[in-house]
Amino acid sequence: MDEMTRLREFRDDAPAPDRAALAPGRRRLAEAAAPGRRPRHPWAQRRTVAVVAAAALTVAAVLGTRLWDAAPDRSGPASATGPLRLESAAEVLNRAADTLERLPTPPEPLDHQWIYTRTTNLSAVGSSDGTAPSTISNTSDSWVPYDNSAAAKHGKDTDYRTARQVYRAANALPADPEQLLASVRRLYPTGHTAESPPEARAQHSFRAVSLVVQTYPITPAALARVYRAMATIPGVRVTGHLVKDAAGREAVAITRREDGSHEQREILLDPRSFDYVGQRFVVAEDYTLRYPGEKVQQPGPRYRAGQVTLSEARIAGAVVDRKGQKP
């Protein structure tokens, strides 16, 4: 059995906190890079998916060590309620919430445990002559303490929250969508500097919600409430067909155009279980990148509508008892 086949046997159940904002550094870093035994703990990943762009995003927590079930058939979306229609984001997200609300809740991980993740990251860089972009790929393993208080206190990433922080904050989120979104915006405040300027409310809500959704663990009931609130954010849509994540798997794309940007952010969900499986940043319109502050404007990279600039996919994740341990 090859490594990827073994990894696909795992199923993960949601996100890891990471720096997902489209900061200028993310683009600059991407362009600079261009020229065993079965787990024993009750949290387990129901899907093999999620990611973090190698040069710009921070991989954080994903929990689980006992498999909830076998790897699903990915031949297409299916459910007891019939085929999944990709026409309305609200319909998809509310159906996802209905599915999650029927799932049991495993106990919270212990403070001494570690979050193991294996992620695949893809970034594409446009070319000045309009030819096909070059792609950078990276797969890596990570171990992060569930209670990573030291990193949260002394880290430089203002969007970083420990897995324990988000788990407990998510459990406390209200059911009312408007109140939930306000709580999530407080959890992940908007910027207030020239480098990280303030966001409009809808933009802020979608970014903050995406950070919560990526965190693992998050209880099914909490994730269901977040999905219902996400459906109310202005500008949120669903792509009318399944897309591919960084690991080549089919996923539902919940999208929103980034304010003041040529790109849209896509939150990727499994078409059967509705688990979070990754995210992508996709070019929404043709454009040529311009570098601010340069006296002589050289032709920058060209990007085409539909081009995926960053794609993140979690391959595996588990709660383990020590750093270096794998499920």
pLDDT for residue 22: 38
Mean pLDDT of the chain: 77
Distance (Å, whole) CA 283 – CA 265: 9
Per-residue pLDDT tens for 223-278? Answer: 999 999 999 999 999 999 999 999 999 999 999 999 988 999 999 999 999 999 99
pTM given for the model:
0.74
In this structure, the chain runs to a length of: 327
CB of 286 closer than 8 Å to CB of 303: yes
> Residue 238: in which H helix or E strand, if any?
strand 237-238
Is the separation of the CB atoms in 235 and 207 below 8 Å? Answer: no
Q: How far is CA 6 from CA 23, 307, 320, in A?
A: 35, 30, 18
pLDDT digits (tens, 9 = 90+) for 71-125: 333 334 444 457 889 999 999 999 999 999 999 998 999 999 998 888 899 988 7
Q: What is the pLDDT of residue 192?
A: 86
